[in-house]
Structure 1
Amino acid sequence: MAAAWAAVFIIVIVSAVLPGCDGALLFASSYGDHMVLQRAPQRAVLWGFGPEGTLVTVSLSPGKQKPSPVTVSGGIWQVTLDPVDAGGPYNVTATSKAGTAALTDVLFGDIWLCGGQSNMLFKTSQIFNASEELALSDKYPHVRPFMVALNTSETELTDLIQVELPWSVPTASVVGKFSAVCWLFGRYMYEKLQYPVGLVESCWGGTPVEAWSSARALQQCGLGQTEDSPKDNSVLWNAMIHPLLKMTIYGAIWYQGEENAYHHQDKYNCTFPAMIDDWRMAFHQGSGGQTALDFPFGFVQLDTYKNSSIDDGFPAIRWHQTADVGFVPNPRMKNTFMAVALDLPDETSPYGTIHPRDKQDVAQRLTLGARAVAYGEKGLLFAGPYPSQVQSSEMFVSITYDQAVSVTPSKDIFEICCSGTRAPCGSMSRWVAAPIMQWGQTTVRLSASLCRPSEEVAALRYAWKDTPCDFKACPVYSATGTLPAPPFIISRYSGRGNIWKSY
């Protein structure tokens, strides 16, 4: 798989002496000039290192903060500012008898953490129409990027080992090497919010969800420290997420799952929701309660990889990304939103088909979800059609969707499982095509004629292939034609007539 892990581990030797203990007063490495701090009503957290026992006072200029000195304990100082409305710029100064540390050109807005593997790492300079996008960079000076460097650790670290890109005012050269999905999401959100947006990129290509999860999260899914490879559990959580926990953030977006098509695939319906829950708890605690305990979490449902009928695990991971519900938010994954991307294949991508270049549509769909779920915008359609009712007979399967649909005829994207034993359907069952016969404003009728007379329709699935359709050409979209229906698999209750449920 492209963008695979580096073959050599970075061995981290943690010194017993923290930075600052030699007499210097420092901010933690995730802070810097040009950064964005979280706006009101949340309160931004500032922290750093200093000589043990000294008093540190943090001030904001211009501002009406009433700074109270804090004592350096364990080599660390930490201050929670009063709430500051969106805007800026400000200067932030930390002073003690050990000296002064300052941050300039600081803005207050919303901070979004961008995580995952290579499709989140995918650079803005690599997307379709990259030159046009990069030419716009300096028109968004209040969208500020920051990038964590790639490092691993076998223990949870207090501070980042290294910063790849310090907080920066965007330019073409800066944005060109930054995550395309993260940047586009940030600038699209800025166009709606009209106040600063901070983007923190922390991702690594070819990585499984287990590497980004704490040991306690993995234990929830029956996984422990059992492997000895570059995919070691928790090594990226330890080095690239844990050092960020004191930062107050507004939300997170995520693009990952390709690697888990081959690594603990059957566990992903547990490990992914467990990771989200654990991140929320850890950021809430790390920021002293300032990051919301249920902060909004958006993700990209997997795009495509291979244009074949072979089941490469991608359909199952797409399903598991929703905790096997089929859509989000749902009771297991509250306050989440999803960008469906299976209709965006890129067979000629020079970076491999697993890395499609259309990240604009991905980011736009994430933005719709964020506006509705994270910011509570009413009346905004942010998810594609999903079945609200399914009925079947000997000849037809009728689907009623939860919204108006735009339909294009298709012979094979819907499939039915034909069973004569009322046994549960699986990947080895007899699945046959169910062509679209008719449709209405919210309904689609499928043919069940390929089932034998001795069989009944026992299950139904949609888009259950790696590449189910051509570019933006799946058969079912929202009425406007902009939001694709997500894949699903549902079955009949055995012995309960015409009642259906999700797998």
Structure 2
Amino acid sequence: MKANLTALLLLLFYVLPGGRADVRLSPVFSSNMVLQRDVPSKISGWAASGETVVVKLGGKVIGHASGAGAITPWTVTLPVFSAGPVPDLTVEGNNTITLTNLLAGDVWICSGQSNMEMTLQSGPWCTYGGVRNATEEVAAANHPQIRLFAMLSKQPWAVCAPESAQSFSAAAYFFGRELAQRLQVPIGLVQAAVGGTAAEYWTPRSAREQWPGFPSALENARRFEREQKPVIEAYEQWQKQVTEARRNGQPVPARPPEMTTALYAKFSAARATAGTGKLYESRIQPLTTMTIKGAIWYQGEGNVDRAAEYADLLTQLIGGWRQAWGQGEFPFLIQQLVNFNGGPATWPELRAAQQKVVKSVPHTGLAVGIDIGDPDNIHPANKQEVGRRLALVALREVYGRAVVAAGPRPLDSRFEADHVVLRFDPGDQQPGLVLQAGTDTGFEVAGPDGKFEPATVEVRATTLTLRTAKVREPRAVRYAWHGNPTATLFNRAGLPAAPFRMNAQNASPDGK
């Protein structure tokens, strides 16, 4: 019932202005779009019940469908296209729609929260936008083989040019630019991201309902919202005042004192649980009519207070999306949270959860960015490297290219009386590890008391030896295990090691 309601609302919003009964396409299909290459793709829309829909490719009929009204879409399967130009597509019913300037290539969904939403250039579309060298990057964004579509922007697909790229996701743009340059095939980028959102909003309700604890969690969330209604209303009023103050360049008012940090964490969790699936239904579900290559995901800041739940939640999200698309286990690539100084102490746990998902869920990949954040800005400007590293993961894991896509990875450990020896896979064809000089190595060792102390590091080929005079009987080791850690360990390709920890009882890294 909810899915039908969502479809109807989207149809009324996009498709049937004035209540006309003409044949209409789903808003994800328009001129300038990229259709997925090398596999059968599809086109869909709505038509009056019983209306005959004819689809033509270059003037030749390739399919028929029958309209079923405003709720049930019609669908026509298209032929398999090789990478390159596609003849015009014409859809005929009571009216005629022609899609021109089409390409066949690879289509990627680009989703998450504010760091995926952040745009190349700052503007009314995104006040926290603006990457490094933004003016130069926007001026150079002439890539006819890249096409851009922002979900619910009310704008059709656009050819990548300075005018269209400036207000598009920076992380997605740089990802697509790298792929297009390396693969020499058209790339379609679909932006579906909303700042400040938790993963629950993006997870299909049906996927969450398979978790046994969801019904009780939902009831608890609704009870909390009822009991704390006055505080929540005061907080929401304050949020409006903050928005207005920032718009007018005035000082931001203080947060209501009754909304304590602890209460805010509970409020965020309750709101996210009660809102399960809302953004999936409005931003993602309408995209499932498209055939895609895969998805990239940059999110997690909105779940750091519930890091212990994140691995299960993201696993449910990925499974739910894959089931909705019906394309099997399509690639799902994750940008690990970068370094930041202002987050809660659970940022390392959230990063570990992201690593756990990649280890346990097939056809996923992780781009590590522990060295490219801005300690004082949760929206770091270096989205060039975010996009490049996600593209490297795609090139290796999805396209089978022989590229270096990851930094050093710990293989095992040996705990001795006064030191620890770690052995690494450098992740590079060039042997050896690179440890950047500095007083803080990023490595810590703990004894039986569990208290971690900074360690010195000796490098020899692909092994590290850790020592500290403060710990005589090492029992555990960790690396970069802070919100804004010192990242020192790289391979010769310049890619960093991901944060990790391990102990003497389990000498292999477990990401926990």
**Aligned match of 1:136:** 140
CA shift, 1:91, in A, is 1.1
Counterparts of 1:363 and 1:208, CA distance in 2: 22
**Aligned match of 1:68:** 63
Counterparts of 1:372 and 1:12, CA distance in 2: 37
Counterparts of 1:219 and 1:322, CA distance in 2: 24
The change in CA–CA distance for 1:219 and 1:15 in structure 2 (over 3 A counts) is: closer
1:22, 1:51 within 8 Å by CA — same for their partners in 2? no
Counterparts of 1:123 and 1:180, CA distance in 2: 5
Q: Does 1:254 align with 2:297?
A: yes
Unmatched runs of 5 consecutive residues or more in structure 1? 1-10, 150-162, 285-291, 421-428
CA shift, 1:165, in A, is 3.5
Supply the AA of the counterpart residue of 1:127.
V
SS at match of 1:137: coil
Deviations 1:125-149 (A, max 9, x none): 10001111111112x1110000013
Counterparts of 1:478 and 1:220, CA distance in 2: 41
Give the TM-score normalised by the residue count of structure 1: 0.81
Counterparts of 1:245 and 1:141, CA distance in 2: 25
Q: How many residues align?
A: 434
SS at match of 1:334: coil
Supply the AA of the counterpart residue of 1:394.
A
CA shift, 1:230, in A, is 5.4
SS at match of 2:196: coil
**Aligned match of 1:450:** 470
Counterparts of 1:260 and 1:17, CA distance in 2: 32
2:412, 2:509 within 8 Å by CA — same for their partners in 1? no
Counterparts of 2:206 and 2:501, CA distance in 1: 31
2:296, 2:334 within 8 Å by CA — same for their partners in 1? yes
Q: Does 1:353 align with 2:373?
A: no
**Aligned match of 2:369:** 341
Counterparts of 1:406 and 1:203, CA distance in 2: 36
**Aligned match of 1:210:** 200
Give the TM-score normalised by the residue count of structure 2: 0.80
Counterparts of 1:14 and 1:45, CA distance in 2: 21
Counterparts of 1:334 and 1:16, CA distance in 2: 32
**Structure number with higher helix proportion:** 2
**Aligned match of 1:430:** 451
2:418, 2:474 within 8 Å by CA — same for their partners in 1? no
Counterparts of 2:477 and 2:9, CA distance in 1: 57
2:441, 2:488 within 8 Å by CA — same for their partners in 1? no
Counterparts of 2:202 and 2:408, CA distance in 1: 31
Supply the AA of the counterpart residue of 1:69.
H
The change in CA–CA distance for 1:313 and 1:17 in structure 2 (over 3 A counts) is: closer
Match runs of 1:222-233 below 5 Å: 222-224=213-215, 225-226=218-219, 227=221, 231=272, 232-233=275-276
Deviations 1:199-233 (A, max 9, x none): 00000001111100012322344334443575311
**Aligned match of 1:363:** 387
Counterparts of 1:382 and 1:442, CA distance in 2: 18
Deviations 1:331-388 (A, max 9, x none): x1221222111111324xxxx61010001111111111000011111x3221111111
Match runs of 1:336-485 below 5 Å: 336-347=364-375, 353-377=377-401, 379-403=402-426, 404-409=432-437, 410-419=439-448, 429-436=450-457, 438-452=458-472, 456-469=473-486, 474-480=487-493, 482-485=494-497
Deviations 1:157-180 (A, max 9, x none): xxxxxx344200122121010000
| Pairwise CA RMSD | 2.3
Task: State which of 176, 194, 198 in structure 2 corresponds to 1:186.
Answer: 176
Amino-acid identity (%): 31
1:212, 1:236 within 8 Å by CA — same for their partners in 2? yes
Unmatched runs of 5 consecutive residues or more in structure 2? 122-129, 226-269, 427-431
